[in-house]
Amino acid sequence: MSADQSAPAVVVDDVTRVFSKRGRRTVAVDAVSFTMRAGRDLGIVGESGSGKSTLARIIMGLDQPTSGRVLVHGEDLSSKPRSRAERLRRAKLVQMVYQDPYGSLDPRQTVRSCLVEVLRLHPPRGGNVAARASELGDLVGLTPAQLDRSPVGLSGGQRQRVAIARALAVEPRLIILDEAVAALDISIQAQILNLLAELRDELGTAYLLISHDLAVVRQLTDDVVVLHHGRLVEQGETGAVLDEPAEDYTRRLRDSIPSRHWREPGMLEELTRVG
């Protein structure tokens, strides 16, 4: 165990991101600060325009904040990597799994060669790339036959397993799940959520989950941050925030989730001021 095991996994320190387009300034992320503690999975919740995806890209090092800084396991990723070695080292800190497994996999190569490609860049301990590719397949529940197929021949749930295996191939300390189970059928979503929990217990990988789905956030995370129009409106333990939201916006978000209350006369109309 390394010395910084108890140090925060992610520190987001007064991060602002402003986009300027044709003279119009949009503040996508507005002075947001929070800490993701080591050994605790964090959810970032918000609707479209909340800034959650911009923030994820910044934490991932794919985008730079206009001001403020981000530390991932103590490393400042706010600047562009200066060398190939630095880029590879950063990749070991954080990987990302996206919502759409179609868009994030190359249809021209088999799943196995996709994993091998990543393993060549990030050689596994012992150096046996082929063996490790098979092991990763096992780990995420893909059969050897599925590993030899193109992602095109796989179902949505299987492709998401591939995306998870590819992220794990790098052996990152943190995986950002950007709406990673949002597009899946209910029964497949349950399987992937279970798989993610098993992998966390087995490998110690931490998750930063970006989601609009509060039930998924509850199932997978310990702490939560709520964003609205680029600002942080509430944070705390996931259970506490969802059970007893302190802020109006969080309460509205929770009450907008379909429930039996919608059947009470006037409830839905009051919630939405429609009708």
Kindly state the number of chain residues that form the binding site for another protein, as judged by CB under 8 A.
Answer: 40
- Give the tokens for residue 107: 């249809």
Please, what is the minimum distance in Å from the beta carbon of residue 208 to another protein?
17
CB–CB of 41/224 below 8 Å?
Answer: no
Please, what is the minimum distance in Å from the beta carbon of residue 178 to another protein?
16
Please, what is the minimum distance in Å from the beta carbon of residue 5 to another protein?
24
22: contact with another protein by CB under 8 A: no
Query: Which residue among 191, 200, 203, 229 contacts another protein (CB under 8 A)?
Result: 191
145: contact with another protein by CB under 8 A: no
Query: Which residue among 3, 85, 145, 186 contacts another protein (CB under 8 A)?
Result: 186
Please, what is the minimum distance in Å from the beta carbon of residue 253 to another protein?
6
40: contact with another protein by CB under 8 A: no
Please, what is the minimum distance in Å from the beta carbon of residue 188 to another protein?
8
DSSP codes joined into one string, 185-216: -HHHHHHHHHHHHHHHHHH--EEEEEES-HHH
CB–CB of 211/45 below 8 Å?
Answer: yes
Query: Which residue among 133, 216, 224, 232 contacts another protein (CB under 8 A)?
Result: 216
- Give the tokens for residue 177: 């799940």
Query: Which residue among 5, 67, 128, 194 contacts another protein (CB under 8 A)?
Result: 194
Please, what is the minimum distance in Å from the beta carbon of residue 250 to another protein?
12
* Phi and psi at residue 201, to the nearest 5°: -65, -35
Q: Distance between CA atoms of 141 and 252, rounded to whole angstroms?
A: 38
Reduced to 3 states (helix: H, G, I; strand: E, B; else coil), residue 119 is helix
DSSP H/E element including 178: strand 174-178
In the region spanning residues 234 to 253, those forming contacts with another protein, defined by CB under 8 A, are 238-239, 242, 252-253
26: contact with another protein by CB under 8 A: no
Q: Distance between CA atoms of 192 and 179, rounded to whole angstroms?
A: 12
265: contact with another protein by CB under 8 A: no
Residue nearer to another protein on the CB measure, 87 or 261: 261
233: contact with another protein by CB under 8 A: no
| Residue 42 β-bridge partners | 208, 223
Q: 246, 243, 174, 253: which is closest to 213 by C-alpha?
A: 253
219: contact with another protein by CB under 8 A: yes
Is the sign of the CA dihedral 185, 42, 46, 252 positive or negative? positive
257: contact with another protein by CB under 8 A: yes
User: Kindly report the CA angle at 202 between 201 and 203, in degrees rounded to 5?
Assistant: 100
Count other Cβ atoms within 10 Å, centred on residue 266.
8
In the region spanning residues 45 to 74, those forming contacts with another protein, defined by CB under 8 A, are 47-48
Binding site for another protein (CB under 8 A): 47-48, 156, 185-191, 193-194, 197, 212, 214-216, 218-219, 238-239, 242, 252-254, 256-263, 268-269, 271-275
